[in-house]
């Protein structure tokens, strides 16, 4: 079954899950009041928002079958956008009924007189979660703290929303609709049990050990790992894995890190991550890891790979830690003897602060590769590219038939926005532009 | 870019589906009250029926005064509250103003 067909099937299933409560609500006998078309629409929006919120967890629960057609990066972006839309839907739902009731007090979850306290609590909690996710860095919340509170908060939102629907829903008093909503919650609980219990338990049976931990410049560590008592896993160049350095794989804190090693199998099996010091974990814990220490690796994931996208040539555009998946692609091409032309544009603050600079430059001599370093703060006498990667700079390096190439972009969010827009403006078809974003929160 | 377009389109579709839901759900007749059901249940079910032919119905003229008064109240003022509606509908079903046994579809402001 092709990835496209599977993608269509999964998207169709998503649509069905989101809209089924509305269909069942129409067919089932309503047992409550009949509030008129606008209130009915607000109820429908609330029902759909509940479905969206319940299924949000499924989008990021690392189900291989579901993530393969789209890629984890795309699913995470979709999760984020649907969460924002879900919040907007809940706000519209709540605002309409507050307007209809003629009082905003109903939105106060602490007001004992409010008949919809559970719903109001769910709405406020959802608002807090979305705010913390969108502005995590500005609010000074660590990734680990955010991960923990996001998981707990999501569960509380689902429980409070369900309580609201069960007690106050205009249409959810119908047995068929209530049964459907219960089924959604049960499915969510089962998925959480798989994600939080079975998956870590499986990881525990397949530990990894630190083989080496090297400083490769640019505040970046190259962390080599070898499997302990198992064969490891194969992966596509450009994919990533979730890395945990906690004592137990059941710990919540896990980090999505791109594999930087070649996808060509080695003997003994060995994988490598290039980890830039960007937060508490990567700046303090990672450098302290010693050979022989045990870690947990859940992977591979992601659709960001040259192996999935046939093209006569490649344009790789990276910035900062975005170099890791590019390095994996280039190392793999070298090991395979891939003769296709490659342009690699990589942004860094300065030559001294560019991770893996020596190897990137060396690869230019081993592949049909044009390596273009771009420095924000170049050394005196530098005649190459400087500043930030933008449309004008890109135009200088696009191949003669740019629509025949595949474009891979990975780096800081701002750079990716600029590059994506520039590539689209240059006439590159969207299906040939592939991105990997891990700094969404 | 593609993901954003898909998400925005999907939310537009969900919004449209909710509007359709609101419009249809408050107009579609529900099921017919069945024999053997409790008055309250039958009332809830009958509440959703849209007979559509009460106005000028000769049978209504011969209905009890209370039933006729309630029908008139519903036709004139529409539903007032959930409790009122259910009480009225339960009464109408237990003392039907017409031989069809159908209660008025008050939520659309019908003139039954």
- Do residues A138 and A147 make contact, with C-beta atoms less than 8 angstroms apart? no
- Mean pLDDT (whole number) for A259-267: 90
- Minimum mean pLDDT among A127-136, A370-379, B33-42: which range? B33-42
pLDDT at B75: 52
Kindly tell me if the per-residue pLDDT of A362 is higher than 50. yes
- Minimum mean pLDDT among A64-73, A211-220, A298-307, A407-416: which range? A64-73
Kindly tell me if the per-residue pLDDT of A57 is higher than 50. yes
Q: Which of A18, A30, A82 to mutate to test the interface with B (most CBs of B within 10 A)?
A: A30
Q: How close, in Å, is residue A12 to chain B by CA atoms?
A: 12
- Mean pLDDT (whole number) for A377-385: 91
Q: How close, in Å, is residue B37 to chain A by CA atoms?
A: 14
Residue of A nearest to B83 (CA): A33
The 3 state secondary structure assigned to chain B is CHHHHHHHHHHHHHHHHHHHHHHHHCCCCCCCCCCCCCHHHHHHHHHCCCCCCCCCCHHHHCCCHHHHHHHHHHHHHCCCCHHHHHHHHHHHHHCCCCCCCCCCCHHHCCCC
CB A41 to CB B14 under 8 A?
Answer: no
- Minimum mean pLDDT among A148-152, A423-427, B11-15, B94-98: which range? B94-98
CA A282/CA A295 separation, integer angstroms: 14
Mind listing the pLDDT tens digit for each residue in A159-208? 999 999 888 776 777 788 889 999 999 999 999 999 999 999 999 999 99
Residues in chain A with CB shorter than 8 Å from the CB of B26 are 34-37, 39-40
pLDDT cut 90: percent of chain A above it:
59
Interface of B with A (CB under 8 A): 1-4, 6-8, 10-11, 14-15, 17-19, 21-28, 30-31, 44-45, 47-48, 79, 82, 85, 107
Assigned token pair, A249: 């794989």
What are the residue ranges in chain B where pLDDT is below 50?
Answer: 28-62, 77-83, 97-112
Q: How close, in Å, is residue B64 to chain A by CA atoms?
A: 26
In terms of Cα–Cα distance, which of B10, B104, B2, B17 is closest to B63?
Answer: B104
What Cα–Cα distance (Å) separates residue B39 from each residue in A126, A418, B31, B101?
41, 66, 15, 12
CB B1 to CB A82 under 8 A?
Answer: no
Q: Which residue has the higher pLDDT, B2 or A30?
A: B2
Neighbour-count burial of A248, counting CB atoms closer than 10 A to its CB (0-12 exposed, 13-18 middle, 19+ buried): exposed
pLDDT at A19: 94
Instruction: Tell me the whole-structure pTM to 2 decimals.
Output: 0.74
- Minimum mean pLDDT among A34-38, A68-72, B58-62: which range? B58-62
pLDDT at A252: 80
CB A48 to CB B1 under 8 A?
Answer: no
pLDDT at A440: 56
pLDDT at B91: 53
pLDDT at A35: 58
What is chain A's mean pLDDT, rounded?
A: 89
């Amino acid at each position: 079954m092709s990835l496209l067909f599977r993608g269509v099937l999964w998207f169709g299933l998503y649509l069905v899950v989101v809209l089924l409560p509305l269909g069942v609500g129409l067919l089932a006998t309503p047992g409550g009041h009949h509030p008129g078309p606008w209130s009915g629409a607000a109820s429908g929006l609330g029902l759909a928002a509940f479905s969206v919120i319940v299924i949000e967890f499924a989008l990021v629960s690392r189900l291989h079958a579901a993530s393969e057609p789209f890629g984890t990066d795309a699913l995470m972006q979709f999760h984020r956008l649907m969460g924002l839309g879900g919040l907007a839907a809940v706000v519209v739902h709540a605002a309409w009924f507050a307007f209809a009731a003629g009082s905003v007090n109903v939105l106060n979850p602490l007001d004992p007189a409010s008949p919809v306290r559970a719903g109001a609590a769910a709405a406020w909690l959802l608002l807090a979660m979305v705010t913390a996710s969108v502005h995590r860095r500005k609010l000074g919340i660590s990734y680990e703290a955010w991960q923990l509170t996001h998981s707990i908060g999501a569960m509380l939102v689902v429980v409070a929303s369900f309580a609201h629907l069960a007690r106050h829903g205009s249409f959810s008093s119908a047995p068929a609709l209530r049964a459907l909503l219960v089924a959604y919650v049960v499915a969510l609980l089962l998925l959480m049990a798989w994600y939080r219990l079975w998956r870590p338990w499986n990881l525990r049976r397949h530990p990894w050990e630190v083989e080496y931990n090297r400083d490769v410049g640019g505040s970046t560590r190259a962390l080599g790992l070898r499997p302990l008592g198992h064969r490891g896993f194969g992966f596509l160049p450009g994919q990533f894995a979730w890395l945990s350095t906690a004592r137990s794989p059941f710990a919540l804190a896990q980090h999505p890190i791109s594999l930087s090693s070649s996808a060509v199998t080695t003997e003994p099996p060995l994988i490598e991550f290039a980890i830039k010091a960007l937060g508490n974990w990567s700046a303090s814990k990672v450098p302290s890891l010693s050979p022989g220490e045990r870690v947990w690796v859940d992977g591979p994931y992601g659709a960001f790979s040259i192996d999935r996208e046939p093209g006569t040539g490649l344009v790789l555009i990276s910035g900062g830690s975005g170099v890791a998946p590019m390095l994996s692609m280039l190392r793999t091409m070298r090991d395979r003897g891939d003769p296709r032309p490659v342009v690699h544009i990589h942004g860094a603050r300065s030559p001294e602060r560019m991770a893996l600079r020596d190897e990137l430059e060396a690869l230019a001599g081993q592949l049909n590769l044009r390596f273009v370093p771009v420095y924000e703060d170049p050394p005196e006498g530098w005649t190459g590219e400087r500043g930030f990667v933008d449309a004008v700079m890109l135009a200088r390096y696009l191949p003669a038939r740019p629509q025949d190439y595949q474009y891979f972009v990975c780096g800081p969010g701002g750079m990716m926005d600029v590059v994506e827009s520039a590539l689209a403006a240059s006439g590159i078809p969207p299906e040939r532009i592939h991105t990997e974003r891990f700094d969404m929160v | 870019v593609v993901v954003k377009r898909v998400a925005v389109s999907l939310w537009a579709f969900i919004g449209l589906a909710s509007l359709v839901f609101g419009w249809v759900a408050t107009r579609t007749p529900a099921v017919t009250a069945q024999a053997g059901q409790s008055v309250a249940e039958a009332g809830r079910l009958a509440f959703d029926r849209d007979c559509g032919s009460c106005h000028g119905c000769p049978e209504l003229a011969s209905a009890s005064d209370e039933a006729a008064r309630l029908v008139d109240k519903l036709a004139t003022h529409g539903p007032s509250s959930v409790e009122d509606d259910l009480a009225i509908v339960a009464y109408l079903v237990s003392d039907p103003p017409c031989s069809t046994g159908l209660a008025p579809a008050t939520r659309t402001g019908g003139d039954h």
